[in-house]
Amino acid sequence: MDSHIKVLVRVGGTWDTLGNFSSKYDTVIDVRNEVSLKSLMDTIKADISMDWYQNDIRFSYMVALCPPPIVIADDSELLFYLRLKSYQNDVPYLPLCMEVLPTATVAQLNGQANSSCALSPDINICYNSHSVDSTPNLTGQSNTNHMSIKISSGKSDHSNSMKRTSQTKRRRHPTNPVDVISHYHPTTLQVDSIYKSKQDLYHHLQMYAVSNSFQYKTKRSNRTVLHVVCVDARCSWAVRAVSLDNSPLFQIRRFDSYHSCPVDFREGDHRQATSTFLADLVLHCYVEATRKQYPPNDIWDDMRREFGIAMSYRKALLVKQKALKKLYGSDEESYQLLPSLCYMLEIKNPGSSIRHGYAGHGYCTEHIARNLRTKFKGPKEDLTWKFRKASRAATEVECEEYLQMLEEQDHRIRAYLSQIGQTKWARCKSGPYRHSVMTSNAAESMNNVNNSAREYPIFKLVDFIHERMQKWFHECFETASTTSTILPNKLESELITLQRDAFNMKVKPACPYEFELSTAIGSRPGLSCYNFISPYYKREALVATYSGIVHPIGDKSTWDIPSNVKTMVCKPPLCNKRPLGGQRRGGYHPLVNFISAKVGKSRSVPGA
């Protein structure tokens, strides 16, 4: 690094939310690489006419236009900045931004009056007659009153500099609201950083400790102060933050970053890696229902690989449960939101039907047939085909014939089917809700689409189906609108293939409109293939099918729900729900089981 570095100083400005610094004017200084922060501040104060009893200076800079800006609070941080600057010794590169901030107590600056009027003996200022108008303004604003200062620094009193720096830290005060941190880097902490709440600060401390593989404990915590120290009493690492004017904002006033604790205090089950904290880390993995849920085994493996956190399977399962509950609430809360969700579907999409007028509730006959094969005697094939014939019989007489056949095979079958309810499985007894002869391919296809979403709470499942229908209608309408052929592209390609085959066929006419080979009409002049294709396959029908719009329902915080809908009670079904994650096989078992097995009292191991 050169002995002198030219630095562009932007004087008397503020940072905005986009990371731009609007200064009153710019100046260029020539700084030696050993200059101290105290010397630099005293020199600039002596050159600027201002009441330094009521104001103080704060230097900051921004790397790669990535906010928030980095504050220079001591000599080491200034040295780090000069090293960064030396890598590209270009005046406009990495400008030093100087903010003039109000000082808390006038008495703290009484001793600075003389020093601000008289220059440090280690610094000489030389004014150049030329202007620095050629220096570009990085924010695009015009600057006036340009000047150039040359600073040459010799040796400085390091102890006095550090003492002055510590005093400056103690009188830090809240800056503009734009300095409040909303997005922070997990591996860095800075003095003067302001957080919008104590919870945000605590979350940052947890993330900082987990990312840097150390642990801390809370020494003092109340509404106005948060003081944390390292778990090792011999370690000097500490962070102290206070609230600003009894507001929710918290500012870091002290940060001792050096760690002297041994490795033994850094390993094992991290005390800051609580299940609630880890749930916030994996929260994004459960937002989209288009993929399988993030399983506990993957949580356990990823936390170990990324942060070195050792946890049990039970804790990983608890992390998953807390993440789902934080996003979607409990099962009871999810079901309670269903009436409001259905109401919004009807309001946003007029003509929608929440309860289908011609849909009834019935049981799957294939599942009943499987139960018959396992519960009752007789050839399984006979039980299956007889029950299928009975369930699909169009008349009660025909159904009774097959029921008698089943009863002759096992007299308990009729009572079993009667207990289920004949209206739930017999077509002849279903009344107006008769099942058609169509298979359930459409339902099975939707089950495949909803395969991942079914693992989420019911509210998320219904919302996922609505979003998927909205996406399908939009994509299909766009495809149909951009189709220039009479048929969709896929059907048009199939028709071209059939037409090519028809050209090679020999036609044997029986009358002007009837042929032995109907596919040969494509080679007959005066006849169009499209006249023999159903209109439901053509472009007009496709556009009309998807011309409707599935409107979004918006965020639930914006819903306007009537009181009668809100008060509707909707509870989960009464059933024994299998716990999330299933039973662990080959896991840890009580010690008494192994002792009993060893002495011969029990040879079985639970969970094996």
**What is the C-alpha separation between 240 and 229, in angstroms, rounded?**
9
Q: Which residue has the tokens 């896991």?
A: 587
- As a whole number, mean pLDDT of residues 185-193 equals 78
pLDDT at 598 over 60: no
Q: How many CA atoms lie within 13 A of 519 on its CB side?
A: 13
Average pLDDT estimate for 452-465: 86
Measure CA 561 to chain center.
27
Burial 74-112 (b: 16+ CB within 10 A, else e): bbebbbebbeebeeeeebeebbbbbbbbebeeeeebeeb
- Amino acid 514: pLDDT: 57
Can you point out the beta strands (E) in 20-75?
A: 21-22, 25-32, 55-61, 70-72
| Among candidate residues 183, 215, 217, the one with its CA nearest the CA of residue 200 | 183
CA separation for the pair 515, 315 (Å, rounded): 74
Cβ neighbors of 257 (< 8 A, separation 6 or more) are 189, 237
Q: Parallel, antiparallel, or unpaired: how do β-strands 25-32 and 147-153 relate?
A: parallel
Kindly report, residue by residue over 2-23, the tens digit of the pLDDT.
Answer: 577 888 888 888 887 777 888 8
Mean pLDDT score, 286-306: 84
* Strand 123-127 with 514-515, pairing: unpaired
604 vs 294, residue with greater confidence: 294
215 residue type, one letter = Q
Task: Name the DSSP letter for residue 579.
Answer: P
Q: What pLDDT sits at residue 106? A: 32
Q: Among all chains, which residue has been given the structure tokens 């991290």? A: 270
Q: What is the pLDDT of residues 372-389, one digit of tens each?
A: 888 887 787 888 888 889
Residue the block writes with tokens 């289920």: 420
pLDDT for position 227 = 92
Task: Report yes or no: 217 and 238 within 8 Å, Cβ to Cβ.
Answer: no
Topology adopted by domain 4-171: Ubiquitin-like (UB roll) (3.10.20)
Q: How many CB atoms lie within 10 A of CB 275?
A: 17
| Segment 503-513 mean pLDDT | 70
Distance of CA 86 to the CA centre of its chain: 39
Enumerate helices (H) and strands (E) in the chain, giving the number of each.
20, 17
Q: Is the pLDDT of residue 581 over 60?
A: no
Quick one: which of 480, 598, 467, 469 has its CA closest to 545?
480
Spatial separation of the C-alpha atoms in residues 239 and 247, rounded to whole Å? 20
- Please provide the average confidence, as pLDDT, over all residues in the chain: 74
The stretch 83-108 carries a mean pLDDT of 72
Point out which residues pair with 4 in neighbouring strands. 32
Give the number of other Cβ atoms within 10 Å of residue 390's Cβ: 24
Average pLDDT over residues 25-51: 78
- Inform me whether the pLDDT recorded for 608 exceeds 50: no
The residue among 408, 454, 399, 448 whose CA lies nearest residue 427 is: 399
Closest CA to 346 of 570, 562, 557: 562
Q: Where are the domains of the chain?
A: 4-171, 178-265, 275-328, 378-437, 578-608
| pLDDT tier, 549 (very low <50, low <70, confident <90, very high otherwise) | confident
How would you classify residue 301: left for phi > 0, otherwise alpha for psi between -120 and 50, otherwise beta?
alpha
**pLDDT tops 60 at residue 55:** yes
Query: How does pLDDT run across 195-234, given as a tens digit for each residue?
Result: 888 888 888 888 888 888 788 888 888 888 999 998 888 8
- Using a pLDDT cut of 90, give the percent of the chain over it: 1
> How far apart are alpha carbons 562 and 484 in whole angstroms?
47
Tell me which residue of 451, 69, 131 sits closest to 291, measured CA to CA. 451
* Residue 267 banded pLDDT, cuts 50, 70, 90: low
Region 406-425 average pLDDT: 87
HSE-up (13 A, CA, CB side) for residue 96: 28
pLDDT digits (tens, 9 = 90+) for 114-129: 333 333 333 333 333 3
Residues counted in the chain: 608
How confident is the model over 568-593, as a mean pLDDT?
58
Give the confidence band of 247 by pLDDT, cuts at 50, 70, 90: confident
Give alpha helix (H) positions in 64-140. 75-86, 113-117
Structure tokens at 237: 């690492």
Q: Are 153 and 41 in contact (CB under 8 A)?
A: no
31 pLDDT above the threshold of 50: yes
The pair of three-digit structure tokens given for residue 429, joined into one six-digit string: 């007894």
pLDDT > 60? residue 589: no
What is 478-499 written as a DSSP string?
Answer: HHHHT--SSS-HHHHHHHHHHH
Q: Looking up tokens 């005060």, which residue turns up?
A: 173
Higher pLDDT, 342 or 84: 342
Check pLDDT > 60 for residue 296. yes
H/E stretch holding 306 reads helix 296-307
pLDDT above 50: residue 150: no
Strand ranges for 400-493 from DSSP E: none
d(CA 533, CA 488): 12
pLDDT given for residue 516 in this prediction: 54
